[in-house]
């Protein structure tokens, strides 16, 4: 059975990476979610995709230039589906506290240096332990620096490689860094690649899948999970 993850909550149905979006995902009966993390200026984990605030809040500046408290006062409804109430940028702590129904999280870290990677990885570990989510979290990233840091420091949580372009063999990269998950752009999905990845013990998760026909094709291909902006449609399509 192909599992369904909501992409940034339910990005096609509510403002992405907001509590409204995560609640919308749960309302569809989808209890697995993918989301993005950046650090605030006071080193809190904030749930937002871009390193800058412009696209979702309309404000200038970087996430890293603002405190968690300030970010949680912003309205992140811009460039998303219409929504009647303000949607602040949530912290990861706030999400864990507000939506305990989620059974699994893919936490995609948008990170750079090895020093920053350590800060982010340690912060995730602290929160995951506090909420007792050790069996319900995978830390994913396209950053080889972060994945190398996790491997070299024997990071206790499962990790995953996010691969968009496949310029370097993603299976080799995922195994090199000791990953448990391979998160592929759907265009990189071929039956032989999926089978080979699974034979290596990798969970193959595919993004972003919003078309019913594509959902069925990937499910028939045997992917372990797909990540979608439209969880209600995915449930309706895949049953």
pLDDT at position 148 is: 97
**Quick one: pLDDT band at residue 65, thresholds 50, 70, 90?**
very high
pLDDT at position 58 is: 97
If you average pLDDT over residues 149-162, what whole number do you get?
Answer: 98
pLDDT at position 83 is: 97
If you average pLDDT over residues 113-117, what whole number do you get?
Answer: 90
If you average pLDDT over residues 175-191, what whole number do you get?
Answer: 98
145 CB-contact burial (10 Å; exposed 0-12 / middle 13-18 / buried 19+)? middle
Query: Over the chain, what is the mean pLDDT?
Result: 97
**Quick one: pLDDT band at residue 178, thresholds 50, 70, 90?**
very high
* In the block, residue with structure tokens 């265009």: 187
Closest CA to 197 of 214, 207, 184, 216: 184
pLDDT at position 4 is: 98
Question: Are 85 and 41 a contacting pair, CB within 8 Å?
Answer: no
Q: What would the pLDDT profile of 45-60 be if each residue is shown by its tens digit?
A: 999 999 999 999 999 9
Q: State how far the Cα of 100 lies from the Cα of 168, in Å rounded to an integer.
A: 37
pLDDT at position 112 is: 76
Q: State how far the Cα of 184 lies from the Cα of 205, in Å rounded to an integer.
A: 6
Alpha-helical (H) ranges within the chain are: 19-27, 54-57, 68-71, 92-98, 114-131, 144-152, 170-176, 191-199, 212-221, 231-238
User: For the domain 3-238, what is the CATH superfamily, name and number?
Assistant: Phosphatidylinositol (PI) phosphodiesterase (3.20.20.190)
Q: State how far the Cα of 163 lies from the Cα of 142, in Å rounded to an integer.
A: 6
Dihedral pair phi/psi, residue 110, rounded to 5°:
-100, 95
Share of the chain above pLDDT 70, in %: 100
pLDDT at position 113 is: 85
pLDDT at position 239 is: 84
């Amino acid at each position: 059975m192909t599992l369904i993850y909501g992409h940034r909550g339910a990005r096609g149905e509510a403002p992405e990476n907001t509590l409204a979006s995560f609640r919308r995902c749960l309302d569809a009966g989808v209890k697995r979610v993918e989301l993005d993390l950046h650090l605030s200026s006071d080193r809190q984990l904030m749930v937002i995709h871009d390193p800058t605030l412009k696209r979702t809040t309309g404000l200038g500046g970087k996430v890293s230039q603002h405190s968690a408290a300030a970010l949680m006062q912003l309205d992140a409804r811009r460039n998303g589906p219409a929504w009647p109430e303000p949607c602040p940028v949530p912290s990861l702590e706030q999400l864990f506290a507000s939506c305990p129904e989620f059974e699994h999280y893919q936490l995609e870290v948008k990170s750079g240096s090895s020093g920053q990677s350590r800060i982010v990885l340690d912060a995730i570990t602290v929160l995951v332990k506090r909420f007792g989510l050790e069996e319900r979290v995978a830390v994913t990233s396209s950053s080889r620096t972060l994945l190398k840091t996790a491997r070299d420091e024997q990071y206790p949580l499962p990790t995953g490689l996010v691969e968009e372009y496949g310029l370097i063999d993603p299976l080799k990269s995922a195994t090199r860094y000791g990953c448990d998950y391979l998160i592929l752009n759907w265009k990189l999905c071929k039956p032989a690649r999926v089978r080979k990845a699974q034979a290596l013990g990798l969970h193959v998760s595919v993004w972003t899948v919003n078309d019913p026909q594509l959902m069925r094709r990937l499910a028939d291909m045997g992917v372990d999970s797909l990540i979608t902006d439209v969880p209600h449609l995915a449930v309706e399509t895949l049953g």
